[in-house]
């Protein structure tokens, strides 16, 4: 498969109002893409679009405010996107939400909300936009999984389940689309300095004081600039890489999960308990990566 280039093509990007999404939007604009940006945060999305239009006046930018937890709204928007853009060069499923709490501390409604945004919306948009990707020679699909799509800690059942689902979906789809010349990349970020942990919902049964204390400690580990993460992703996509791992913690845990698939949790717990790695609460992580 030849090297990917987005210049002159249309790129659809979800979760574009901040963090990695906003950084990806700027990186794609620099590379000459016309942008279709989606987010539920209308004001944040407008600010990103204004900055892009000021910095890259020659590039087209369309914005759409949508809550991806809403199945019908997502379907209607996907139809409008395909109608306006029958050929799409790149789809980046970046939007994601988080929920802090062990399985018995969250409701099924809270659990389902995470799965809806992080997984169902990825499947729904990919299914709806796939004909437009197929219509564009050399197209590419990107999904954003997580460090917790490689390793599933306690306190992150909903988030890890959704991100493992994204990983499996993406890996199977990569094999299905390879013969059509469509590249597929699954990204596993870790330690990125975004607001996903701060903006996470907290399970109804979670002790808020304990959660907040753990969150403050955890946020000290978020050291990677979103712009650095975005460039790593875009370089990986240009090379048609099937997987992109971001951050030393992601690479370490990926190795542990492969070397000791059933026992890596105990290995990590031993490290945490010795103080080599400071998590939110030893053995009770409630914050997403």
Strand-pair category, 99-100 with 34-39:
unpaired
Joined together, the tokens standing for residue 90 give 């790149």
Q: CA 146 to CA 161: how far, in whole Å?
A: 11
The answer to the question of residue 187 being in a domain is yes
The answer to the question of residue 288 being in a domain is no
Of the candidates 185, 190, 187, the one whose C-alpha atom is nearest the C-alpha of residue 241 is 185
Select which of 159, 164, 169, 218 is catalytic: 159
The answer to the question of residue 287 being in a domain is no
The answer to the question of residue 286 being in a domain is no
**Residue-by-residue pLDDT tens, the chain, 289 positions:** 789 999 999 999 999 999 999 999 999 999 999 999 999 999 999 999 999 999 999 899 999 999 999 999 999 999 999 999 999 999 999 999 988 889 999 999 999 999 999 999 999 999 999 999 999 999 999 999 998 999 888 888 999 999 999 999 999 999 999 999 999 999 999 776 665 665 667 787 876 666 665 555 555 555 688 999 999 999 999 999 999 999 877 877 778 777 766 666 665 554 444 433 333 333 344 455 5
The answer to the question of residue 279 being in a domain is no
Please tell me the pTM assigned to this model.
0.87
Strand-pair category, 183-189 with 140-144:
parallel
Of the candidates 185, 188, 161, the one whose C-alpha atom is nearest the C-alpha of residue 174 is 185
Range of the domain at 36: 10-273
Q: Mark whether 211 is an active-site residue.
A: no
Q: CA 221 to CA 213: how far, in whole Å?
A: 14
Here the CATH number for the domain that contains residue 193 is 3.40.50.720
In total, how many domains does the chain have?
Answer: 1
The answer to the question of residue 101 being in a domain is yes
Q: What is the DSSP string of 151-200?
A: ---TTBHHHHHHHHHHHHHHHHHHHHHGGGT-EEEEEEE-SB-SSTTTT-
């Amino acid at each position: 498969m030849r090297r990917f280039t987005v210049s002159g093509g249309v790129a659809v990007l979800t979760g574009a109002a901040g963090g990695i999404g906003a950084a990806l939007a700027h990186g794609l604009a620099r590379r000459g893409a016309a942008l279709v940006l989606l987010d539920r945060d209308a004001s944040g999305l407008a600010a990103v679009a204004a900055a892009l239009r000021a910095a890259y006046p020659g590039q087209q930018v369309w914005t759409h405010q949508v809550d991806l937890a809403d199945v019908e709204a997502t379907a209607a928007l996907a139809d409008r996107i395909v109608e306006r853009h029958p050929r799409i060069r790149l789809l980046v499923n970046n939007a994601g939400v988080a929920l802090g709490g062990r399985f018995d501390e969250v409701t099924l409604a809270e659990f389902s909300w995470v799965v809806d945004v992080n997984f169902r919306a990825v499947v729904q948009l990919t299914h709806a936009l796939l004909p437009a990707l197929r219509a564009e020679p050399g197209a590419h699909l990107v999904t954003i999984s997580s460090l917790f799509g490689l390793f599933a800690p306690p306190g992150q059942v909903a988030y890890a389940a959704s991100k493992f689902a994204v990983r499996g979906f993406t890996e199977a789809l990569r094999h299905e689309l390879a013969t059509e010349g469509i590249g597929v990349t699954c990204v596993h970020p870790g330690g990125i300095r975004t607001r996903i942990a701060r903006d996470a919902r907290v399970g109804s049964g979670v002790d808020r004081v304990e959660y907040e204390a753990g969150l403050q400690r955890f946020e000290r580990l978020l050291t990677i600039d979103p712009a650095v993460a975005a460039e790593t992703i875009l370089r990986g996509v240009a090379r048609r890489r099937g997987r992109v791992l971001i951050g030393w913690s992601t690479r370490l845990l990926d190795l542990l999960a492969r070397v000791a698939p059933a026992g890596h949790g105990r290995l990590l717990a031993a490290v945490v308990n010795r103080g080599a790695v400071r998590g939110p609460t030893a053995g009770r992580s409630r914050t997403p990566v």
